[in-house]
Amino acid sequence: MGPDLSGSVGALSAAVLGAALDMAGLAVIITEAPLDRPGPVIRYVNAHTEAVTGYSAAELIGRSPRLLQGAETSRAELDRLRRSLEAERHFIGSTVNYRKDGTRYLNEWVVTAILGAGGEVTHWLSIQRDVTTGGRNHPGAEELRRRTESILSTLRSIAARNPAPAREPALENRLAALGRAQREADLGSLLRAELAPWPDRTVLEGPPVTLRPGLAGPLALALHELAAHAARRGALATPAGRLAVRWRTEAGRLVLDWQESGVPAPDDGALRSGYARQVLDEALAFALGGETRLELRADGLACTISVPFEG
């Protein structure tokens, strides 16, 4: 089951951040805004959350974080959480949580609000870490909260430049891409799912590649942005257009070549600005140490993505 965050300006950006923080060993949970039972309802978890808690994404999505609480979870800390979110829209704290197998761990977490276009809270973003062996109240927690809120503020301002009716379908489609990344570990399967509407106009060639969870999310979003651009104004928007995607592994990296052809008036402007640029340049580079090269050729767009990969 993929995350369902439609209607939130900042939620997708938080989901991208969640995939990125897999690389830093941090768990990320996104919930809906209502705090009363049965909420807050979980709508997204990253791979590290699954690793820490022992629950799969499918087992957590649709449930409440209360699933992770038990006999030694501090009621006073949970009450402070509720008061802080209602009054200040952010929280830093720690208490005992429980894994699926019943073992306890000391969880430190930072919670901050995800805001809609009108400034209303649409979701909560929680960044968590197991500090059982490292002690509690890590001195970097407050700085992490400030940086997270700064990132979300920047991403919200970029998203808000587009009118809401135009933004919502794009948001839902990007979330669907994230959902596919949570289900598909094979690169070829991920590409076939993304390009399913155009089976006769696409060529996919490459060896079997299993994507680790921290790589799958950002890469799925990058491929979605390329496919969406091709469908709007590239090779998949014109009858004569064709698309070839080829990938290989070499020298500890996964290299993917995206080549469009048959496009009468190639245009890569949309990929060099706004959200697509964030995904291709910033998210891949920040989260994965990746590199992206865009080239506008005479008959279509060419893009090469290179990311660290351990087969």
Is the pLDDT score of 252 beyond 60? yes
Return the higher-pLDDT residue of 220 and 42.
42
Contacts of 172 (CB under 8 A, 6+ apart): 6
Residues of the chain with CATH 3.30.450.20: 11-159
Residues of the chain with CATH 3.30.565.10: 184-308
- Record the tokens describing residue 145, joined without a space: 């909260």
| pLDDT level of residue 224 (50, 70, 90 thresholds) | confident
Q: Summarize the confidence of residues 119-140 as an average pLDDT.
A: 72
pLDDT at 162: 41
Q: Residue 3 and residue 176: Cα distance in Å, rounded?
A: 8
The CATH number of 184-308, from 3.40.50.300, 3.30.565.10, 3.10.20.30, 3.30.450.20, is 3.30.565.10
pTM for the predicted model, two decimal places: 0.54
Fold of 11-159: Beta-Lactamase (3.30.450)
Digit-coded pLDDT (tens) for 147-201: 555 444 444 443 444 444 444 455 556 656 655 665 557 899 989 988 999 999 9
